[in-house]
Structure 1
Amino acid sequence: MFGFGTEIGIDLGTASVLVYIKGKGIVLQEPSVVAIDRNTDTVLAVGSEARRMLGRTPGNIVAIRPLKDGVISDYKITERMLRYFIKKTCGKSMFFKPKIIVCVPSGVTQVEERAVYDATSEAGGGKTFIIEEPIAAAIGAGLDITKPDGNMIIDIGGGTADIAVISLGGIVVSKSIKVAGDKFDEFIIKYMRKAHNLLVGERTAEELKINIGTASPRAKPIKMDCRGRDLITGLPKNITVTSEEMLEALREPVNSISDAVHAVLEKTPPELASDISSRGIVMTGGGSLLHGLNKLLEKRTGIPTYIAEDAVSCVAKGTGLSLEHLDVLERSMSSKKSIRY
């Protein structure tokens, strides 16, 4: 159990939740999935255990992902999920409510931001702060955003891709699009249906994306066996899928991200654009690990593009580290930061 003064950073992602405790680092990383018994409205499992139930539950049990496209789609389930994770990391008998900072995509509305704030507070948070994902990602990637220099960050999570130019601790230009890891999976499912008359689930699509997915041609094509349901016979079927097919399947969402990066660069002030040209672009988030995506963006923009070390954890790390620099980040924080329940 943690006592007085516990400070927590939460990366409340569409695909996964990461929890950072000040002084301890990242203490939890679990999928954003909750299994509910419809008959009794009780939570049966949260996180990894619930994810294993996706697509495999009887009628009375449903596995829910309460966040969609980077925002809360089911408020009550999100609050219950957060309560579980906060208790798991802070201990069941919290004498003092922890101070929590939680990140949101740069393009969220005030209503969506308020929903995150309220859900976190209701789940057991004390003083709750909101920070935008690109700021947290930049801090977690080790960029010094306090100086009057231009830094460009591309954070590709499960629900959103956030592209931002940051200087003096604030966002100068940004764009958030609802094309990221989940959309990659959707397009793979569509491709398998169209090209092979094969219906595959979300988990299979994710495995294809991770193992053979690519945004630009591989030097040596690779293959993977895939299992699904034949839409013609209705029976299980095994096929072999190639990385060239994944390149075709992912072309549209990858181009959407590329176009968004181009649009942000077009709006960037020339002095900051010059900084970015010499410093390069930094990519964070699980979606940035798609093979060849950084090379594709580098080719499109003509600017060196790097994947941050431990890209998946950057937002969570930055969210936690920003607890120590609230004064510097005040401009980018929500005006609700002074509210306490």
Structure 2
Amino acid sequence: MPAATDIGIDLGTSTIVVYVKGKGIILREPALAAFDKDKNMVVAFGDEALNRLEHNSGNLLALHPLKGGVISDFLVTEKMLQYFIQKSMGHFRLFKPHIVLCIPSGVTEIEKRAVEEAAYQAGARDVVLVPEPVAAAMGAGIDVLRPSGSMVVSVGGGITEIAVISLAGIVVSQSIQVGGDSFDQAVLQYVRDVYGLFIGEQTAEEIKIHIGTADREKRLDHAEIRGRDIHTGTPRTISMTSGQVREAVEKPVRQISDAVHAVLERTPPDLAADIAERGILLAGGGAQLNGLTEVIHKDTGIAVMLAENPETAVARGTGVYIRNINVMDKTYHV
């Protein structure tokens, strides 16, 4: 009899990434639902929800059922998980899947049970919860089973996870509700305060990607930005520089770097020595902010490396877990 399919899910605040055994990463869609006010029900998830909301006639609301790395709306999260599981496996599956699900390292026992229950209600046969930093380390090629210390900083959309890992367990960790979305909101607010211009979240993200930097010594680019004047309501175009973006994102960048420093201060000396030798790993979509690695390196004095394809490192880590599930089940516990 064929085995049930194994699925790994990075249940992110902004994005959900799905890994399927034998296929790799097959889905990467917004952690988003579209709620129809007229029908009083959720009518779409992921890319479909985003598409409908972009062409919204006024009857749809955007729902974000995950906030700060935890479930804020259990029922919508359950339905969203069900949607992604069905989309990953097809509607005619014969076996319920085993699911490896990533969670923030600082979640409570109640939150863990809520995530597990949502996955079971969505159709899982078995559920394994793996802390996001552990999955990110595995996805970046780190052997988490070894006794030496590794530090991972996973910058997601709504939360940053900092953890020191040894023997497949988290020795020291900290979670802060700062991430890639914080950078976007900081840019949006800066443009509003300095230029009196309304811009959308997508425009703020594009500014961050194209001319953004966290480091004073990086990038001297500029971009033309079009928005709506706060006072007149008419379209207006301004020019913004990389230096201004750095100024805009300085606070959330500082919060991340300070949290990394705080975790290092609480790390046992032997493991801290390992980290000083091997460096700090950055993963997650928010880690791609230009100059972030340099800022953390300057603040800590430790080399900082950006994972390959950092936005999918956590999901790839679920794949590594699945491929080594017999070994991991014997040695690993949440």
Q: TM-score, normalised by structure 1?
A: 0.93
Q: Quick check: 1:145–1:167 contact (8 Å CA) kept in 2?
A: yes
Measured after TM superposition, the shift of residue 55 of structure 1 is: 6.5
Q: Distance in 1 between matches of 2:70 and 2:331?
A: 22
Q: Deviations over 1:35-58 (max 9, x none)?
A: 121221344332123224556623
Match in the other structure for 2:30: 31
Q: Distance in 1 between matches of 2:72 and 2:233?
A: 32
Q: Deviations over 1:64-95 (max 9, x none)?
A: 22211111112222111111111111010222
Q: Distance in 2 between matches of 1:54 and 1:203?
A: 13
Q: Quick check: 1:198–1:231 contact (8 Å CA) kept in 2?
A: yes
Pairing 1:197-216 to 2, within 5 Å after superposition: 197-216=196-215
Q: Quick check: 2:211–2:219 contact (8 Å CA) kept in 1?
A: no
Identity %: 49
Match in the other structure for 1:333: 333
Measured after TM superposition, the shift of residue 156 of structure 1 is: 0.4
Change (3 A) 1:145 1:243: same
Match in the other structure for 1:282: 281
Measured after TM superposition, the shift of residue 330 of structure 1 is: 5.6
Q: Quick check: 2:148–2:167 contact (8 Å CA) kept in 1?
A: yes
Change (3 A) 1:100 1:123: same
Match in the other structure for 1:339: none
Q: Quick check: 1:35–1:50 contact (8 Å CA) kept in 2?
A: yes
Pairing 1:45-64 to 2, within 5 Å after superposition: 45-54=44-53, 57-64=56-63
Q: Quick check: 2:99–2:127 contact (8 Å CA) kept in 1?
A: yes
More divergent stretch after superposition (172-181 vs 233-242):
233-242
Pairing 1:284-323 to 2, within 5 Å after superposition: 284-323=283-322
Q: Distance in 1 between matches of 2:186 and 2:55?
A: 22
Change (3 A) 1:226 1:53: farther
Q: Quick check: 1:57–1:63 contact (8 Å CA) kept in 2?
A: no
SS at match of 2:328: coil
Match in the other structure for 1:13: 12
Change (3 A) 1:255 1:153: same
Say yes or no: does 1:126 pair with 2:113: no
Measured after TM superposition, the shift of residue 229 of structure 1 is: 1.7
Match in the other structure for 1:229: 228
> Which amino acid is 1:30 matched to?
E
Q: Distance in 1 between matches of 2:331 and 2:158?
A: 25
SS at match of 1:328: helix
Q: Distance in 2 between matches of 1:323 and 1:68?
A: 27
Change (3 A) 1:79 1:154: same
Give RMSD over aligned pairs. Answer: 1.6
Pairing 1:246-257 to 2, within 5 Å after superposition: 246-257=245-256
Pairing 1:66-105 to 2, within 5 Å after superposition: 66-105=65-104
Match in the other structure for 2:179: 180
> Which amino acid is 1:287 matched to?
G
Q: Distance in 2 between matches of 1:290 and 1:182?
A: 11
> Which amino acid is 2:238 matched to?
I
Measured after TM superposition, the shift of residue 132 of structure 1 is: 0.3
SS at match of 1:250: helix
Q: Quick check: 1:129–1:333 contact (8 Å CA) kept in 2?
A: no
Q: Deviations over 1:227-265 (max 9, x none)?
A: 222111122222221111100000000000000000000
More divergent stretch after superposition (263-272 vs 224-233):
224-233
Count of equivalent residues: 332
Q: TM-score, normalised by structure 2?
A: 0.95
More divergent stretch after superposition (23-32 vs 135-144):
23-32
Q: Quick check: 1:11–1:103 contact (8 Å CA) kept in 2?
A: yes
Q: Quick check: 1:140–1:317 contact (8 Å CA) kept in 2?
A: yes
Change (3 A) 1:235 1:134: same
Q: Distance in 1 between matches of 2:53 and 2:257?
A: 31
Change (3 A) 1:241 1:41: same
Q: Distance in 2 between matches of 1:314 and 1:290?
A: 16
More divergent stretch after superposition (253-262 vs 39-48):
39-48
> Which amino acid is 1:267 matched to?
R
Q: Deviations over 1:71-125 (max 9, x none)?
A: 1112222111111111111010222110001011111122222221111111111
Q: Distance in 2 between matches of 1:104 and 1:86?
A: 17
More divergent stretch after superposition (55-64 vs 236-245):
55-64
Match in the other structure for 1:149: 148
